[in-house]
Amino acid sequence: MKRLAESMWQRPSLWEWWVPLAWLAALLGMVLAIPWLEDVFRQIAPNSRSVIYQRNAFLTLVVNHMAIVGVASLVAIIAGVGAAVMVTRSWGRDFLPLVAQLASMGQTFPPVAVLALSVPMLGFGTEPTIVALVLYGLLPIVRNTLVGLQGIDADVLEAARGMGMSGGQVLWQVEFPLALTVIVAGIRTSVTINIATAAIGSTIGAKTLGEPIIAGIVNGNTAYILQGALLIALLALCVDSAFERVSRHL
């Protein structure tokens, strides 16, 4: 089984990562180039006094944005995969409907409402944003983990148990390797969605790429909005293409 798990990963060459690296280069290039593109953005917002967002450096906003998404995604992965594993065990199957409903509610509940409810308890800034992203990112992870684990052939599991494997060994050496591609697909969806959703954190003071977007909406400055939106889109494309390459090698 260990050999099976090892054979599922094909060592990628650097050339095969040219797409995510290209998007990363485009993102960094845009971050560095925006301050020098005043004439371009002046055409978009000719009546605005300032067309380059300057309250915080764009590189700082990109790093903070990814840090918030990274922490929220890590918590969502631990909670989502853990909950899915629990309800696929014989002792936890009774909780399957509850876990599925809670995960669905987390994504259907508007993130703005989660922020509004979290601020009185957690204050303004990063913490309420992470809570909203965790709730919003749970459903794809829980759903795909359930699909991956429940889709494993019962004969394979029975054979593993017949070899004398314990429940933990079956989970780590058989179930996870076989379900990994489906689980990673759910994580990919969750992270990509949250990269865009994290922008709303700037409405309560979190330092994200939503800052120029919110400032642009408040001041009627289309150039600000475009700068934030472009960087979020490039960041999402970079991360999504990286996940795509990982998925191909699983």
- CATH code of the domain containing 219: 1.10.3720.10
Residue 97: what pLDDT?
85
Q: Tell me: pLDDT of 5 over 60.
A: no
Q: Please check whether residue 95 is in contact with residue 87, taking contact to mean a CB–CB distance below 8 angstroms.
A: yes
* Mean pLDDT, the chain, whole residue set: 87
Q: pLDDT of 147-204, one tens digit each?
A: 998 888 888 888 888 888 887 888 888 888 888 999 999 999 999 999 999 999 998 8
**Model confidence band, residue 3 (pLDDT cutoffs 50, 70, 90):** low
Domain-embedded: residue 13? no
Helix (H) or strand (E) holding 41: helix 38-44
Domain count for the chain, please give it: 1
The larger pLDDT score, comparing residue 155 to residue 239, is at: 239
**pLDDT above 90: percentage of residues in the chain:** 46
Domain-embedded: residue 234? yes
Q: Supply the range of the domain harboring residue 151.
A: 55-248
Give the separation between CA 243 and CA 140, rounded to whole angstroms: 15
- The DSSP string of 88-140 is TSTTTGGGHHHHHHHHHHHHHS-HHHHHHHHHHHH-SSHHHHHHHHHHHHHHH
Domain-embedded: residue 148? yes
Domain-embedded: residue 168? yes
Domain-embedded: residue 187? yes
Q: Tell me: pLDDT of 4 over 80.
A: no
Give the separation between CA 127 and CA 23, rounded to whole angstroms: 29
Q: Tell me: pLDDT of 12 over 60.
A: no
Domain-embedded: residue 41? no
Q: What is the mean pLDDT of residues 98-121?
A: 77
Residue 110: what pLDDT?
73
Domain-embedded: residue 33? no
Angle, helices 96-108 vs 58-87, to 10°: value is 160
Residue 124: what pLDDT?
84
Give the separation between CA 98 and CA 84, rounded to whole angstroms: 11
Domain-embedded: residue 20? no
SS3 at position 199:
helix
Residue 171: what pLDDT?
84
Give the separation between CA 180 and CA 170, rounded to whole angstroms: 14
